[in-house]
Amino acid sequence: MDHPSWINTSLGLNIVPLRPLDDLPPPPPPLPPKQEMSENDFMDLGTIPSSVKDESGALAEELNRVSAENKKLTEMLALMCENYNALRNQVIEYMAKNAEKEAHPSPSKKRKCEGGGVNHENNHYNHGAVSRGSTEGSSTDEESSKVTQPREEKIAAKISRIYVRTEVSDAGLTVKDGYQWRKYGQKVTRDNPCPRAYFKCSFAPSCPVKKKVQRSADDQALLVATYEGEHNHPSPSPADEASGSGSNKCTTNGSAPRSSSLNTSGPTVTLDLTKPSKAATNITKDGPRPKADSPRFQRFLVEQMASSLSNDPGFTSALAAAISGKIFQQKK
DNA sequence: CGGCTTTGACCAGCGC
DNA sequence: GCGCTGGTCAAAGCCG
């Protein structure tokens, strides 16, 4: 993971690890001046008509034009890379700030944060959606509540939270995620009339993972499951996982079981510059593959980078929603 | 009979 | 110190 996974939860984004820009191959150097092939190239030199001099002039002009275009595209690509780096740095800086903020919550507010934390975060980040991903590097209210544990253990504890939409008539508090859980307690909390159920992972005897499940106070059809810790045993078999997640379509990430079929109604954005886009795939598969050092390829590269962001229908809306949600949460 | 759930009791942290 | 609250324990009951 390149980025702290809290961003998945906090921003409601599912960000695929980006390949660092430094790893990207450098933009191909400008094309060396070379003669473009034309029909005349295949003609017998002895049969060159006298007008070839005019054509050579035209070709030189064309060459200059192509070179200029090549240079322009290279500059555009460099500019885009620069913008991308700047944006990435901003994101990293922002994530670092948040991680620091959440890693040092006000100790005096420990319990108050705990009380409504689940539901409030639900509203801010993942209303009506299943959020997944361990909040590695961002200790939350739940984490700080384990005051009896050594500090190292608290830091190591990974918290992840998922939201599962169920039938309101379904009174159960079970979030089927493929793992085996043993319920060891149930409590009615102050801020929520719905009881909170406490589970321990019974898949492995020594597994330290705990899970708390409670219905959202605002939306009783929404189950909030909070996972604490990391499983110290292999994930359940895919069959188990599939059967386990069948009814609720619920799984988690990080410390909790993985899944790809989440019941997310919230925005999910996948940024993956390491994978070729559809268009790129089509070209490499179906059409002639442009040469890597050709101006056409460079233009294609630029267009792909731009279109991959701007043409993604979910990107702008998800970005706007995430940013506004984050700002709204900070104002509170 | 073993594993799981239920549920009241207990403990610890926090605010007043 | 006391009351409130969240988290955990453990005995009893349930179920296959």
Q: Is the dihedral of CA A119, A122, A128, A130 positive or negative?
A: negative
| pLDDT-above-70 percentage for chain A | 29
Q: Is the dihedral of CA A120, A177, A270, A26 positive or negative?
A: positive
Distance, CA of A156 to C1' of C14, in Å: 37
Which residues are within 8 A (CB) of A152 and not within 5 positions of it... i.e. 6 or more apart? Answer: none
Note the Cα A234 to chain centre separation in Å.
24
Q: Is the dihedral of CA A313, A314, A315, A320 positive or negative?
A: positive
Q: What is the mean pLDDT of residues A293-319?
A: 50
Give the residues across from A162 on adjacent strands.
A225
Q: What is the mean pLDDT of residues A256-281?
A: 35
Which phi and psi (to 5°) does residue A215 adopt? -75, 145
Q: What is the mean pLDDT of residues A287-305?
A: 49
Q: How far is CA A50 from CA A40, A41, A54, A250, A289, in A?
A: 12, 15, 8, 77, 37
CB of A258 closer than 8 Å to CB of A235: yes
- pLDDT tens for A239-267 read 444 333 333 333 333 344 433 333 333 33
Claim: this prediction has a pTM higher than 0.75: no
Residue nearest to nucleotide C6 (CA to C1'): A189
Is the pLDDT score of A272 beyond 50? Answer: no
Looking at residue A84, what is its pLDDT? 67
Residue A123 or residue A323, greater confidence: A323
SS3 A266: coil
C-alpha to C-alpha distance for A56 and A46, rounded to whole angstroms: 16
Looking at residue A128, what is its pLDDT? 36
- pLDDT tens for A39-61 read 444 444 445 555 666 778 888 88
Looking at residue A229, what is its pLDDT? 79
Distance, CA of A246 to C1' of C16, in Å: 23
- pLDDT tens for A150-201 read 333 434 456 777 887 776 566 677 776 777 888 888 888 887 888 888 888 8
Cβ within 7 A of any strand C atom: A 111, 114-115, 142, 145-146, 184-185, 187-191, 196, 198, 210, 212
Distance, CA of A180 to C1' of B7, in Å: 22
Residue A178 or residue A215, greater confidence: A215
